[in-house]
Amino acid sequence: MGNMTDELLVKYLLGEADANEIAKVQHWIDDKEDNKKYFEHFKLIWEHSKELAAKSSVDENAAWARFQQRVAKAEEQPLARTIPLNRYFGGWMRVAAILILMIGGGWFYYYNFANRMLTLSSNEIVLTQTLPDGTLVTLNKHSSIHYPKRFKGNTRAVELEGEAFFDVAHDKSKPFIITADEASIKVVGTSFNVKTSAAKTEVIVETGIVEVSKQSAMVRLKPKEKATVTRGNEAPVKETIHDELYSYYRTKEFICNATPLYKLVDVLNEAYGSHIVIKDEQLKQMQLNTTFHNESLDGILSVITGTFNIKAEKQGDTILLKP
């Protein structure tokens, strides 16, 4: 950092710096490549926090200290001193306060200058991000994507943990490749969903053609087809799907097309954090044809119980569905 302080950089970003301070910051940025990288990283994190600033109610002084620690750690430089907030920060310090940790939820955006990789992670919210090539990614909760600041070479390679929907920008000369656990997904321009868990990775195609491989084994998917890559199995397994429940986090709809009740319940438990249990084996296989749009869990359960003439009984945190 030399003779530069985080306090002056924040003042510069807020437009509160005077002419001498502006000249000092600009001279410092131009003086060394490391200074320029530090400022770009500082500004990147700052700007990606603005949209959430108004929603934050965290302790700003404490979060500002954490912000400085995160920046210092990312740059592998000595920890900057903690700067107490003063009058000109005002509500804008919520930008720093929510910057990285988003206490109890939110998201995390980090740029690693060592390998020019960006990491976008969701926690309790669904995120939509446009990648450098124009590809649109919708991240489900508790998911992360790692991608470069710029795609170079003959491919566009990213890594996924969790679940995301990809609407890939068309570029025949540069295939888009996703690594998700033991699965590798290759496309040119298409839209599809990828979901990883501890035991398997699932790929569902909406448009175009997608190649899913594990080591030397590969399957090619068309719309309405799914491939499952399971730990312990040598090859992906392909099947045709009929429901569109996988898209609930993106469309805010639960679309059931002859969908067995147990599948809908599995998705409801995931979406609402609920614990719904079906107590009858025959009931699990009962099929539902309907679409729930922005419905509450109680509203959906009301339709289910009315449709199948069954009961929903609450026992603590568990909801039992039974005849």
The pLDDT tens digits for 44-53 are 666 655 544 4
Same domain, 265 and 229: no
Query: β-strands 191-196, 200-207: how paired?
Result: antiparallel
Task: Return the percentage of the chain with pLDDT > 90, whole number.
Answer: 50
- In whole angstroms, give the CA distance from residue 54 to residue 49: 10
Average model confidence (pLDDT) across the chain: 80
pLDDT, mean of residues 240-246: 89
The pLDDT tens digits for 5-27 are 767 887 787 787 888 889 999 98
Same domain, 109 and 132: yes
**Which domain covers residue 307, as residue numbers?**
245-322
Retrieve residue 299's tokens: 């509203």
Write down which residue in 217, 241, 265 finishes a domain.
241
What confidence category does residue 77 fall into, taking pLDDT thresholds of 50, 70 and 90?
very low
- In whole angstroms, give the CA distance from residue 244 to residue 256: 7
Write down which residue in 54, 85, 103 finishes a domain.
103
Q: Which helix (H) or strand (E) holds 305?
A: helix 297-308
The domain tally of the chain equals: 3
pTM: predicted TM-score of the whole model, two decimal places: 0.66
Same domain, 74 and 156: no
Strand partners, 210: 221
pLDDT, mean of residues 256-275: 93
Q: Look at residue 20 and give its three-state secondary structure.
A: helix
Same domain, 193 and 266: no
- In whole angstroms, give the CA distance from residue 50 to residue 90: 14
Retrieve residue 256's tokens: 């059931």
Single-letter amino acid code for the residue at 39? F
Give me the CATH number covering residue 288. Answer: 3.55.50.30
Residues 6 or more apart whose CB falls under 8 angstroms from that of 309 comprise none
Same domain, 92 and 50: yes
The pLDDT tens digits for 103-114 are 334 445 554 544
Write down which residue in 225, 241, 257 finishes a domain.
241
The pLDDT tens digits for 122-136 are 877 888 889 999 999
Helices 6-13 and 19-31 cross at an angle (nearest 10°) of 110
